[in-house]
Amino acid sequence: MHTPPIPIVATVAVLVLLVPSPTPAQRLCATHQLSAQCGVSAIDSASTAVGWQLDVTPYLWALSIVGTTGLGAQDAQVDVTFQDIVNHLKAFFMASATTRYDRWGFEVDVNYLKVEDRSVPPPPSFTDADYIAKQSMVEFGAQYRARDAAGIAVDVLGGGRWWILRNTLKLSTGTPPATELQLNEGWVDPFVGMRLTAVVSPNLNLQVHGDAGGFDAGSNFTWQALGTLGYRISSRWTMRAGYRDVFIDFTDESKGFRYNVSYRGPIVSASYHF
């Protein structure tokens, strides 16, 4: 059983209590984004800006999938490496967008993978087998900037993760028609969490994100931990690199389907600031 990232959330909560409220001068600095004069980095998304902001972020998540899955009385270990995914990859899309006004924000993150494996051993009476898996994760949610002081910001998060799994096994005897077996699942996990952003140097910041959810509304339980280091290369672009881990414990009792896995791996991104 994986342990949720409670230490991350607890650490952020302690920082919220310990960080002092901003002085009037600091508020004025954040309002006008005078980062150089006020000693706060221009990268600092920890500054609460006035007016609308929009960030669009394509990213690459070099994920592996580890855990167990089961159907009926059968269970199997899952250990899919990033190289396995690349070897069978047919299509992918990974990007997020965040819009913010004053202390409020809304974010959408779309992650799509399609893999195909024609080397699956066919069962008896069949000559060929073709396995196709499509997976989508759409994360959406609101955020509220609860603290913004001395180069440190804390956002409170709430939203949902929509999972769509489409598994198709095509079996052939060499002559049409082929036999097609499908196992499809879809659910939405509500979640709550926090994000800490801290300035490290004039163009460098550290971001830590932790959330937990599911609560039997979608999956039995799910959590996410994400840590990145960001570098602002210009007024329009910020590069980030770090590590992301998303855990799911899902059961569909009507089908006897169990999905207890962790998606984990390094992540790199490039954000464009409008």
Residues 97, 56: contact at Cβ < 8 Å?
yes
* pLDDT-based confidence at residue 32 (cuts at 50, 70, 90): very low
* pLDDT-based confidence at residue 195 (cuts at 50, 70, 90): very high
The reported pLDDT for the residue numbered 31 is: 36
* pLDDT-based confidence at residue 21 (cuts at 50, 70, 90): very low
User: Taking every pair of C-alpha atoms in the chain, what is the biggest distance, in angstroms?
Assistant: 78
Beta-strand pair 64-71/74-80: antiparallel
Percent of all residues in the chain with a pLDDT value above 90, rounded to a whole number: 67
Mean pLDDT over residues 148-172, rounded? 94
The reported pLDDT for the residue numbered 24 is: 43
Mean pLDDT over residues 142-168, rounded? 95
Angle, alpha carbons 87-261-122 (nearest 5°): 50
Mean pLDDT over residues 59-83, rounded? 93
Residues 93, 110: contact at Cβ < 8 Å?
yes
Please tell me whether residue 198 adopts helix, strand or coil conformation. Answer: strand
Does the structure show a pLDDT above 90 at 274?
A: yes
* Amino acid at site 79: D
Mean pLDDT over residues 117-124, rounded? 82
Does the structure show a pLDDT above 50 at 233?
A: yes
Query: d(Cα 263, Cα 246) in Å, to the nearest integer?
Result: 5
The backbone region for 273, taken as left when phi is positive above 0, alpha when psi lies in -120 to 50, beta otherwise, is: beta
* pLDDT-based confidence at residue 147 (cuts at 50, 70, 90): very high
- The structural domains of the chain, ordered by start, are 6-30+40-273 (2.40.128.100)
Does the structure show a pLDDT above 80 at 18?
A: no
The reported pLDDT for the residue numbered 16 is: 37
Q: Which residue, 243, 233, 245, 218, is CA-closest to 271?
A: 233
- Sign of dihedral through CA atoms 215, 216, 217, 219? positive
Q: Is the pTM of this model over 0.85?
A: no
The reported pLDDT for the residue numbered 81 is: 94
Mean pLDDT over residues 245-264, rounded? 95
Q: Which residue, 187, 184, 179, is CA-closest to 213?
A: 187
- Mean pLDDT lowest for which of 43-52, 65-74, 116-125, 186-195? 43-52
Mean pLDDT over residues 121-127, rounded? 81
Residues 98, 105: contact at Cβ < 8 Å?
yes
The reported pLDDT for the residue numbered 128 is: 83
